[in-house]
Amino acid sequence: MLKRLASLATVVGLCLAQPAASQVPLNPVVDDPDATLVEELVVRGRLPGPAWWRVSDGDTTVYVLGVPSLAPKRMEWDRAIFERRLEGANVVILPFVNVRAKVGGSIGTAFNLMRLKSGGPFEERLDAGTKARFVTVRSRLGQDAKHYNTSNPLAAGVQLAIDYRDRSQLTNMDPAKLVRLLAQRKGVKVIEKSYDLGPQLGGIIRTPASTGRVCFDEVLAQAEAGPGVTLAAARAWASGDVEGALQNERTYERCLAAVAGGRSYDERTKADEAAAIAGALKTPGHAIALVPLRPLLAQNGVLERLKAQGFTVKTPGEE
């Protein structure tokens, strides 16, 4: 169960912004740190396959592939441009979305997990109408009432989102998983970063129940609707349609932005990703970086931070 709940924390750093047209906007109690995009960066790619941005200084270029926060497992995409750029690359930087229970914090992590997984079946705390909808959805996902033993509405919503995504064959690890494999085969250095899981679980506990319930209701609605929005966004991403790719399903990404400590986590991951790209620019030649689309393109996002440091940023339309 710890491994499954780790999935919720991996997405804290992928706090996508602006709601898709098919989604119901969240209640104002849910604050979104990436709510505004830098419009001039949202440009359709001119080359075949997904869109690339470029960050450069005098003698180095980092090719930045904006990747979906959620996509079908083993998603097909045109890798010709990627494989060409992988040749001779100094390094490949993967999205900074990994989490783990650090040795020193494992006791605290386990304690927080036990607090989240207590209180009896969550559905017993719901009104009759919502309970009926929830039972229908969890039954379709193959889960019983005890699987959602918690008194915390945000924990219940996050667990429901994980189950829905698992059953729908959706993942937040592609295409990074494939990119890692291809880079390793070519002997190209791969940079990844992991964050401690414990604070994210503790943050869920400290999040107000009113905020958690708003999030639970939206996740429930998304699970009822199915993966159509995500599948359409994945097709758009694969064809270089950045605006279409940004319409991805983003239920618990927005919810997790409201978790206590979610803002500082978001800030840390963006700063770390920008620093990794800036570090790659110190070595002449070229490198590749994968960054989730919303943190990449949002105001005060990764590209804006790099531009503020004096690096040249070019869009997919300038290829």
266 or 287, greater pLDDT: 287
% of the chain exceeding 70 in pLDDT: 78
pLDDT of residue 21: 32
pLDDT of residue 198: 65
Interval 48-62 mean pLDDT: 96
Q: Which of 35, 16, 10 is nearest to 247 (CA)?
A: 16
77 or 173, greater pLDDT: 77
CA neighbours within 13 Å on the CB side: how many for 291? 27
pLDDT of residue 258: 67
Confidence bin at 126 (pLDDT 50/70/90): very high
In contact, 42 and 242? CB cutoff 8 Å = yes
pLDDT of residue 22: 36
Q: Could you give the angle at which helices 128-140 and 153-167 cross, rounded to 10 degrees?
A: 30
Question: What secondary structure letter does DSSP report for 27?
Answer: P
Interatomic CA distance for residues 164 and 255, integer angstroms: 16
Interatomic CA distance for residues 126 and 132, integer angstroms: 9
- Tell the burial category of 205 from Cβ atoms under 10 Å away from its Cβ (0-12, 13-18, 19+): middle
Confidence bin at 101 (pLDDT 50/70/90): low
Report the phi/psi class of residue 129: left, alpha or beta, with left for phi > 0 and alpha for psi in -120 to 50: alpha
Instruction: Quick: pLDDT tens for 188-240.
Output: 999 998 877 666 666 777 778 888 888 899 899 999 999 999 999 999 999 99
Q: Has residue 4 got a pLDDT over 50?
A: no
Q: Has residue 184 got a pLDDT over 80?
A: yes
Number of domains in the chain: 1
Q: Worst-scoring range by mean pLDDT, 131-145, 147-161, 248-262?
A: 248-262
* Domain coverage including residue 52: 2-318
183 or 16, greater pLDDT: 183
Instruction: Quick: pLDDT tens for 66-81.
Output: 999 889 999 999 999 9
Residue 63: both structure tokens together: 């090719």
Output the average pLDDT for the chain.
83
In contact, 232 and 247? CB cutoff 8 Å = yes
pLDDT of residue 131: 97
- Tell the burial category of 228 from Cβ atoms under 10 Å away from its Cβ (0-12, 13-18, 19+): exposed
pLDDT of residue 194: 82
Farthest CA pair distance, the chain: 64
**Helix or strand (DSSP H, E) at 64:** strand 60-67
Interval 137-152 mean pLDDT: 93
Q: Has residue 9 got a pLDDT over 70?
A: no
Confidence bin at 8 (pLDDT 50/70/90): very low
Question: What secondary structure letter does DSSP report for 37?
Answer: B
Residue 217: both structure tokens together: 């209701």
